[in-house]
Structure 1
């Protein structure tokens, strides 16, 4: 009886751990222009994204409003920060655009192997959406 109870508990724990680790937004994504790739990961209960590959790996963050940061490489920057999950959406986060050095409010919506990333100022009606594709 103890063996059966232990086996059942082990199976339930395995299923619970698998369910926690199967968050479909986590992983590597490519932007629509194929110039950059972002890896989305989780810190605690928040989601973040790091620009782990760009076409020109030597490109600097020259448009950053902070002069001290202009000499850093764009590749490796954490450009998606502080998102909270709400169903298939991720809200309350920010996106940094190294092309212009600005940070925008952002929301992301997962749709299968597509991730709609919308950066905006104020309300989400005033903004731009880019569709990222999962890298398999």
Structure 2
């Protein structure tokens, strides 16, 4: 091996290391998450080949009661389904250090493109996008939230 070849080894390793890091999978988002308003728990996990999130528990009973239905759904056949157990986060696939999929808003009946990723403090950050605009929702893993709100069990 020549001196010239040896000089280029560190640069080659640096490029290889950068390429490997860029293709690393995002942090897992699977688990129980408390919504930003601390009124519900969303269970995130595998749904076939993608990740999805379902409303799994109310921490605060909504005005329509625990049997609240999906009345704003644009699909009339789905308006009678209960929100509890409904998947609001669907089709999420790894994309760099985040997950991309769609989020359904039962208050409006609309579905938006979405990204989610773990924030530096361990929160789950979910952004729903309408064109160039995005709204943010933060959640906490249930075990972190329990220390702040011991009256509710999320398991």
The answer, yes or no, to whether TM exceeds 0.5 is yes
Q: Which has the higher strand share?
A: 1
5+ residue gaps in structure 2? 1-26, 144-155
Which of the two has higher C-alpha Rg? 2
| Corresponding residue number in structure 2 for 1:134 | 141
1:41 lines up with 2:45 in the alignment: yes
| Corresponding residue number in structure 2 for 1:60 | 69
Question: Cα distance, 1:24 vs. partner?
Answer: 3.3
| Corresponding residue number in structure 2 for 1:96 | 104
Q: Matches of residues 49-128 of structure 1 in structure 2 within 5 Å?
A: 49-54=53-58, 55-56=61-62, 57-91=66-100, 93-111=101-119, 112-122=121-131, 125-128=132-135
Give the CA RMSD over aligned residues: 1.6
Q: Deviations over 1:14-59 (max 9, x none)?
A: xxxxxxxxx6311000111112211110134421111111233211
TM-score by length of structure 2 reads: 0.66
Q: Secondary structure at the match of 2:77?
A: helix
The answer to whether the 8 A contact 2:127-2:134 is kept is yes
5+ residue gaps in structure 1? 1-22
Question: Cα distance, 1:113 vs. partner?
Answer: 2.3
Moved over 4 A (4+): none
TM-score by length of structure 1 reads: 0.74
